[in-house]
Amino acid sequence: MYEKTAEHFSLKQKKLPEGHLLVNLGPSHPSTHGILQNVIQLDGERVVDAESVIGYVHRSFEKLGERYTYNQFLVCTDRMNYVSTPLNNIGWILTVEKMLQIEVPDKVTYVRMIVSELSRVMDHIICNGILGVDLGAFSGMLHLFHHRENIYQVLEKLTGARLTTTFCRVGGLEKDIYPEFEKDVKTIIKGLRPAIEEFQSLLVNNRIFIDRTEGVGGISAENAISYGYSGPNLRAAGVPWDIRKDDPYMFYDKVDFDIPVGEDGSVLHRTLVRMEEMRQSLRIVEQLINGLPTGAHHADMPHIYLPDKSKVYKNMEELIYHFKLIMHGIKVPKGEYYMATEAANGELGFYIVSEGEKSPWRVHVRRPCFWFYQSFPELVKGSLLADTVATMSSMNVIAGELDC
Amino acid sequence: MKETIQSFLKDKFSHFISKEEEIITNLPTFFLKPEGIVPVLSALKTAPGIELNYLNDLTAIDWLGKKTPRFEVCYLLRSGNKSSTRVQFRVALEEDEEVPSIINIFKGANWPEREVYDLFGIRFAGHPRMDRLIMPDNFQGHPLRKDYPLEGFGQDYLVEDLLTIHLKEDMEA
């Protein structure tokens, strides 16, 4: 009926040598952690060639961004990297705030930083825990998942949702922090610190784990840069780049933390870098929670941040602002802006082209997964089939972020 | 940094600069002709003092009804970890024009170029595999073009067709 525009698998067109086998890992396979496919050409258990097929969860966020208002697009960013949603929210909101050139109160920035560092911990717990599961070690994941649940409970109290938090708004936070927030975060840090050490000695220092991961799926620093790697995967290859240090946003230039660096970019080094990053994130959270300022949870800008509902019922001014914001949205001045933040997987960049309307002319998301996952065939060529599972798992490919 | 690159371009590649347009942006932007993108980027990658060796982002903009030529392909580069050195290069294109692929300079350009082809219909000459990346392989049209409706032209490129195609493919193989 329709003309076929492209062949789906180039591997399928190839004439396979005698004894070679094509194996589909995915689209729905326990080791892919999401809906993505790897077609792997095998000679015995040795990988000869591989090919990644993506696009199974594409939801055309960039097209939706051209229709939604700036605050509405926030719900789309939630669904990108769904294991650390607040980090995506904050990246988008900071970009829009930079375009509008508005300042938010210190308290807002503090809370945003605390939440984003806790999300980073959450993301790394998933990645390292599931890597253990993929290699057959289940108990490590269980040890840390209890603490991940604690973080989720704080997010739930703070925002009303666990997964899709939609936490920020342009000019502030969705709502004020709850009274026991400080105490809860301190409890989390207290519980997480020993748990991370326990995880380290239980799984990462285990002889079997090291044998399975050392030197597997490695990449050189030069190659990683050429592929556009960022985040923990790049740092595991020995490149100390971190946007929090290189181009500080929020208050990252005012807190103390170190950037862990690996050596050969192998699965083991990626795991070790993520372990150390969790400790550093807790260090940042501790510094912030001890100096949490008081004050309003949003900037005093009624034409940008929705006015208080009780005032809307009584005052004409607030009613007008409320109406204008709901019906016409925020008008962002004409111009273009690219801003990158350090998400759990690496550089998450939002590129906005505004024509002065209520919604952007063009939105582009530079998502870290998309750039480093294209090197997957090169990483696994020549390794064993079981190693491909470890490699993919340690890269932390999130299908929602990959397809976007 | 902007001045350094500007004088470098004026010195060596002045015939590749297509226009000098002032736009409101936080990125220093340079407009290049399509044939200039490969020599300029490979020269800037190693040029002492500039060294734009990291391909940060690759995307396109459809200016339907706002500007001519209609499309702009945007290359965002930076020099190592110095995020302050982000520089954007742009190539303006008409609807059926091609732009050379930069996959030989940056390996990471592979998927982004395919994505731009898939969603905008801009072809990259010299790319080893100019196929759809994200949309189904029997999809009609290029969804991020401004004249493609938000709701789509209707979802009658049935999943069934896709299955038949792949089944036939398997039978032949």
Tokens matching residue A196: 């991370």
pLDDT at A150 over 60: yes
Pairing of strands B54-62, B71-79: antiparallel
Listing DSSP states for B57-110 in one string gives EEEEEE-TTTSSSSEEEEEEEEETTEEEEEEEEEEEE-TT-EEE--TTT-GGGH
A356 at B interface, C-beta within 8 A: no
Of A27-41, A95-109, A119-133, A272-286, least confident by mean pLDDT is: A27-41
Domain ranges of chain B: 1-134
pLDDT of residue B153: 74
pLDDT digit string, tens, across residues A368-383: 999 999 999 999 999 9
Instruction: List all residues 6 or more positions away from A18 whose beta carbon is below 8 Å from its beta carbon.
Output: none
Q: What is the overall mean pLDDT for chain A? A: 89
> What are the Cα distances from residue A150, in Å, to A78, A98, A155?
20, 33, 9
pLDDT digit string, tens, across residues B111-129: 999 999 999 999 999 998 8
pLDDT digit string, tens, across residues B70-105: 999 999 999 887 777 899 999 999 988 899 999 999
Q: What is the overall mean pLDDT for chain B? A: 85
pLDDT digit string, tens, across residues A302-343: 889 999 888 899 999 999 999 998 888 898 999 999 999 999
Task: Count CB atoms within 10 A of the CB of residue A335.
Answer: 15
CA distance A351 to chain B (A): 9
Residue identified by tokens 């290859």 is A237
Of A32-41, A377-386, B136-145, B156-165, least confident by mean pLDDT is: B156-165
pLDDT of residue B114: 93
Number of alpha carbons in the 13 Å side-chain half-sphere of residue A268: 15
B134 vs A403: CB contact, 8 Å cut-off? yes
Cis previous bond, A248, omega within 30 = no
Return the HEC string of A159-212: HCCCCCCCCEECCEECCCCCCCHHHHHHHHHHHHHHHHHHHHHHHHCCHHHHHH
Task: Count CB atoms within 10 A of the CB of residue A344.
Answer: 28
Spatial distance between the Cα atoms of A174 and A165, rounded to a whole number of angstroms: 10
Q: Which residue has the higher pLDDT, A12 or B14?
A: B14
Which of A66, A336, A363, A403 best tests the B interface by mutation, with the highest count of B CBs <10 A?
Answer: A336
CA distance B35 to chain A (A): 22
Q: What percent of chain A has pLDDT over 70?
A: 97
pLDDT digit string, tens, across residues A39-67: 899 998 999 989 888 888 888 899 999 98
pTM equals: 0.90
Spatial distance between the Cα atoms of A351 and A357, rounded to a whole number of angstroms: 16
A374 vs B111: CB contact, 8 Å cut-off? yes
Residue in B54, B57, B108 nearest the CB of A351: B57
What is the pLDDT averaged over residues B141-154?
Answer: 83
ipTM: 0.88
* DSSP three-state, residue B55: strand
pLDDT of residue A115: 93
What is the pLDDT averaged over residues A114-123?
Answer: 94
B21 at A interface, C-beta within 8 A: no
pLDDT of residue A2: 36
Q: Which CATH superfamily is domain B1-134 in?
A: NADH:ubiquinone oxidoreductase Nqo5 subunit (3.30.460.80)
pLDDT of residue A5: 38
Q: Which residue has the higher pLDDT, B139 or B55?
A: B55
Identify any residues that bridge with A384 across adjacent strands, giving them in sequence order: A46
Spatial distance between the Cα atoms of B118 and B137, rounded to a whole number of angstroms: 10
B83 vs A403: CB contact, 8 Å cut-off? no
Instruction: List all residues 6 or more positions away from A248 whose beta carbon is below 8 Å from its beta carbon.
Output: none
B61 vs A228: CB contact, 8 Å cut-off? no
Spatial distance between the Cα atoms of A398 and A174, rounded to a whole number of angstroms: 26
pLDDT digit string, tens, across residues A250-265: 899 999 999 999 988 8
pLDDT digit string, tens, across residues B96-114: 889 999 999 999 999 999 9
Q: CA of A225: which chain B residue's CA is closest?
A: B54
Residue in B66, B82, B143 nearest the CB of A63: B143
Spatial distance between the Cα atoms of A118 and A120, rounded to a whole number of angstroms: 5
pLDDT class for B22, splitting at 50, 70, 90? confident
What is the pLDDT averaged over residues A97-119?
Answer: 93
Which of the residue ranges A28-42, A196-210, B135-149 has the most confident prediction, judged by mean pLDDT? A196-210
A156 at B interface, C-beta within 8 A: no
pLDDT of residue A13: 63
Q: Count of A–B CB contacts within 8 Å?
A: 120
